[in-house]
Structure 1
Amino acid sequence: MERTILLLAAMVLVAYYVYIPLPDDIEEPWNLILEMTKLKIVVDLVSFAEFLGINHFMDSLQFLIRLQEVPATSDENVTVTETTFNSVPVRIYMPKRKSEMLRRGLFFIHGGGWCLGSAAFVKYDLLARQTADRLDAVVVSTNYGLAPKYHFPHQFEDVYSALRWFLQEDILETYGVDPRRVGVSGDSAGGNLAAAVTQQLIQDPDVKTKLKVQALVYPALQALDMKLPSHQEGSYFPFLPTSLLIRLWSEYFTTDRTLEKAMLLNQHVPMEFSHLFQFVNWSSLLPERYKTDHFYENPTPGSNELAKKYPGFLDVKACPLLANDNILSHLPLTYITTCQYDVLRDDGLMYVTRLQNVGVHVTHHHFEDGFHGAFTLHGFKIADKIQNQYLSWLMKNL
């Protein structure tokens, strides 16, 4: 009898972790299920450790991700070094082949929900090597302080400080970078930071070198309305369900989980800031196909106390979709990747609409079989497709 109970319990446990419903058009479903199962186990373990008071959820994940970091080792194609740009640690990837002219420069910002990841994380290290080699470009992959130790605006300030340092004429000359061919790029939270620093840069009179392009891969762009259609659909999307996204957003601003609870209910924006919803109103900014079966409702007003304590979620430096049209109209050539099965899908789609509305030249690649995290899921067909489109666009436009 005991053996039967144990066997049934084991079967239930295996079914819980292995049964992951996926859309029919996603390629390599069993490989993806394996990756998602591993992540699900890790998330449950660190959540349980947090519940017991052993360690903060993000601190545990940070520890596990640090185990997957690789040293700054050069290879046959790329020289890899580490230094600091204005006290911010960066990793620099330089092609080894000789060049008769100044090279492109790409300033890359890793994702990880402002809480996780680094330039040394194996997935970002490999991406930077591939980018430097294929584009014959100098790639600067920056680090920044992570939550929960650091909160907004620390991450933004680290990235902006490092980028301004890189854009100095003598620094570009040191690395053999053409000042007319410098771009910024990032994925997810890195895409958020890339969009934010690009907006800030066009308003900074002290920076003489301007960016030629920005390339944003499924960026997080707003934290005002957490009931976009992609949020409502995204509870079971691969790797980044809506609940985890909201946890990451709230951790960006505070360890006080009162904000997270309010965001889950979409009741965190005070009435006095309701005018900001015009910049993130999905009913007017999304293409029709994404609005089907969804009805727009004005978010319930939140408390002034939360906004006073943690005003970051109302700040354009944290939420680039809040920028006014005048700022957006001065942005450089832009590339945006969105994925169909991504909770952040609608952030990117709304940014495409807003930029196009003010005359910015935007190239938008939408992957119908894509999902969050696919860009760096090396070895998967979907990763190859997204990376090839991204690198081809940079090759042509940077």
Structure 2
Amino acid sequence: MGSKLLAIALSSALLAHYIYTPLPEALGERWKLMLVDACFRSLGHLAELSELIGFKHYMEVMMVLTTVELVGPSSDDDVTVMDTTFNQVPVRVYNPNNLLPKLRRAVIYMHGGGWCLGSAKMKPYDLLSRKSATELNAVIISIEYRLAPEHHFPDQFNDVYTVVKYFLQRDVLARYSVDPARVAVSGDSAGGNLAAAVAQQIQEDREVQVEIKVQALIYPALQTIDFNTPSYQQNENMPILPKTLMVRFWSEYFSCNKSLLNKMMANSHATHESKGLSNFANWSVLLPMEFRKHYSYIPPGGENAELSGRVPGVFDPRAAPLLVGDEKLRALPRTYIVTCEYDVLRDDGVMYATRLKMAGVQVTHEHYEDSFHGAIMFNTWPTDFAIGQKMISHYIEWLRTNL
């Protein structure tokens, strides 16, 4: 009996040690976040083992996070939900049943997941789309774009661009009773990256006659040139997105080339061609002092011309929207940017907000001192976080006011 009790005590101690992660006091519901993070880390270890023994690619195992959350296109009293395609790209459409005698808003949404994971059909995104459709009386178009490692850049960008361009046709907008002057693009994380890239590129497309009114970017990933910003350093081991996973996402977006991954991890992936882009993401200039903290700026190094040739697109503005000149920013629509203090991507969003304001764009930058990356995705029991619900409410309120 004593040996069994000892075994239970030791097992409990080991489990508690594995789950416990020192987290900043500013974060609420810390034990819940530790438990969620422990589950993520466990799946990550399994994915690493699977890839090591040649069973499945790392991201194929991580897709479990997506698969278990998938839900069908279920309509209810408030919203009619339908899966369809726009120019052969799958989308899920949320159409509010409130038949007010006027044209509606529309939000074209791009899900997160590092261009490798996630789905418009996941329950958290389904709930967000339903809430947005109902409270804004808006048509929500949630895009099911292709994913790495099977598909690499620019496939993901091309999918979302195709959908946005298709939807912005006046006859399509009329079919959904959408006001052409009230269309937004939005997304979180990798989806925020895609939304920002689309907003930049589509303004130059002469075939598009309808302008995007606003863009709403939730903790977006925006630059590929420096993975040593203060937020990458400060939050290197933070849940839910440690630096190693974010850099892995970036690498997989472009290629399965392990050489590129290793160079990115060491922040030595810069090429001859990319040297001139560093100033567009120079955080020693673009970050306010409260975000620079005590960190010292070291210009991204490396002379990897061979990687530039073998893995095209790493510094393409369609992949890294921060790495463009001011002339491309000036014509962008009113912008909402969300950043979280405990997020490796915090400084990407802050720098973009700074540059957009300098270019004369109207920007609302909402920074959460008590939040973490992915917070809005945790909106279902038992992994619902109060901060995530607060962020969703503020996001919808901004759209209500500005769209």
TM-score band by shorter chain is: over 0.9
Distance 2:16 2:109 in 1: 39
1:387 corresponds to which residue?
Answer: 392
RMSD: 1.6
CA apart distance, 1:15: 3.5
1:270-300 deviation digits (Å, cap 9, x = unpaired): 2342110010000000001111211111122
The answer to whether the 8 A contact 1:214-1:335 is kept is yes
Measure how far apart 1:6 and its partner are: 6.0
**8 Å Cα contact 1:105/1:137 also seen in 2:** yes
C-alpha contact (below 8 Å) 1:285/1:353 kept by paired residues: yes
Shift of 1:64: 4.3
Tell me the CA shift for residue 17 of structure 1. 2.4
Distance 1:272 1:152 in 2: 18
- The residue number in structure 2 matching 1:219 is 220
Find the counterpart in structure 2 of residue 178 from structure 1. 179
Q: Distance in 1 between matches of 2:52 and 2:3?
A: 29
* Secondary structure of residue in 1 paired with 2:118: coil
Partner amino acid, structure 2, of 1:337? V
User: What amino acid does structure 2 have at the position aligned with 1:284?
Assistant: V
Partner of 1:210 in structure 2?
211
**CA distance, structure 2, for counterparts of residue 329 and residue 108 of structure 1:** 23
Matched, 1:296 2:300: no
Distance (Å, rounded) in 1 between the aligned partners of 2:269 and 2:44: 26
AA matched with 1:207: V
Segment of structure 1 superposing worse, 30-39 or 318-327: 30-39
Q: What secondary structure sits across from 1:74 in the alignment?
A: coil
How far apart are residue 66 of structure 1 and its match? 1.5
Residue in 1 that maps onto 2:94: 93
Query: Counterpart of 1:201 in structure 2: which amino acid?
Result: I
Aligned to 2:318: 317
Whole-Å separation in 2 of the counterparts to 1:6 and 1:56 = 35
Q: CA deviation at 1:144?
A: 0.6
How many Å apart are 1:9 and its aligned residue?
Answer: 6.5
Residue in 1 aligned with 2:107? Answer: 106
Distance 2:17 2:265 in 1: 24
**Counterpart of 1:361?**
362
Contact preservation (8 Å) 1:254, 1:310: yes
Question: Is the 8 Å Cα contact of residues 49 and 57 (structure 1) preserved in structure 2?
Answer: yes
SS at match of 2:75: coil
Stretch moving more, 28-37 or 88-97: 28-37
For 2:15 and 2:319, locate their aligned partners in 1 and report how far apart those are by CA, in whole Å. 40
Match status 1:50 vs 2:51: yes
- Separation (CA, whole Å) in 2 of partners of 1:44 and 1:194: 31
For structure 1, which runs of at least 5 residues remain unmatched after alignment? Answer: none
Looking at structure 2, the residues matched to 232 and 8 of structure 1 have their Cα atoms a distance apart, in angstroms, of: 36
Q: Provide the C-alpha distance between the structure 2 equivalents of 1:339 and 1:177, rounded to a whole number of angstroms.
A: 32
Q: CA deviation at 1:385?
A: 1.2
Matched with 1:257 is: 258
Aligned to 2:196: 195
Higher mean alpha-carbon deviation, 339-348 vs 28-37, is at 28-37
> Which sits farther off after the overlay, 275-284 or 33-42?
33-42
C-alpha spacing 1:157/1:272, structure 2 compared with 1 (3 Å): closer
1:117-148: per-residue Cα shift (whole Å, max 9, x none)? 11101111111001000101000001111000
- Equivalents in 2 of 1:148, 1:4: separation in Å? 46
Instruction: Give 1:127-276 correspondences, 5 Å limit.
Output: 127-276=128-277
Alpha-carbon shift at residue 67 of structure 1 (Å): 2.5
CA contact (8 A) 1:262 1:302 kept: no
Task: Name the residue aligned to 1:277.
Answer: 278
Q: Where does the alignment leave 5 or more consecutive residues of structure 2 unmatched?
A: none
In structure 2, the residue corresponding to 1:185 is in which secondary structure? strand
**One-letter code aligned to 1:388:** S
Matches of 1:272 and 1:20, distance apart in 2: 41
- 1:124 equivalent to 2:129? Answer no
Q: Deviations over 1:12-43 (max 9, x none)?
A: 64134211111101111122222112212111
Q: Distance in 1 between matches of 2:303 and 2:378?
A: 38
| 1:225/1:299 contact within 8 Å kept | yes
> How far apart, in 2, do the equivalents of 1:80 and 1:251 lie?
32
The yes-or-no answer on 1:339 pairing with 2:332 is no
> Contact (CA 8 Å) 1:94, 1:138: kept in 2 or not?
yes
- Given the two structures, how large is their TM-score scaled by the length of structure 1? 0.97
Report the Cα distance in structure 1 between the residues aligned to 2:376 and 2:352, rounded to whole angstroms.
19
8 Å contact 1:17–1:40 — kept in the other structure? no
**Quick one: distance in 2 between partners of 1:56 and 1:12?**
32
Give yes or no for the alignment of 1:71 onto 2:72. yes
The one-letter code matched in structure 1 to 2:288 is P
d(CA) in 1 for partners of 2:244 and 2:121? Answer: 27
Q: Assess, with a 3 A threshold, how the Cα gap between structure 1 residues 205 and 293 changes in structure 2: closer, same or farther.
A: same
Over 3 Å counting, the alpha-carbon distance change for 1:300 and 1:6 in structure 2 is farther
* Aligned counterpart, 1:14: 15
Q: Give CA-to-partner distance per residue, 1:170-214, whole Å, 9 cap, x none.
A: 110111100000000000000000000000011111100010000
Equivalents in 1 of 2:52, 2:97: separation in Å? Answer: 49
In 2, Cα distance between equivalents of 1:134 and 1:258: 47
Write the distance in 2 (CA, Å) between the matches of 1:64 and 1:284: 38
Contact 1:377 1:383 in 2 (8 A): yes
Shift of 1:11: 4.8
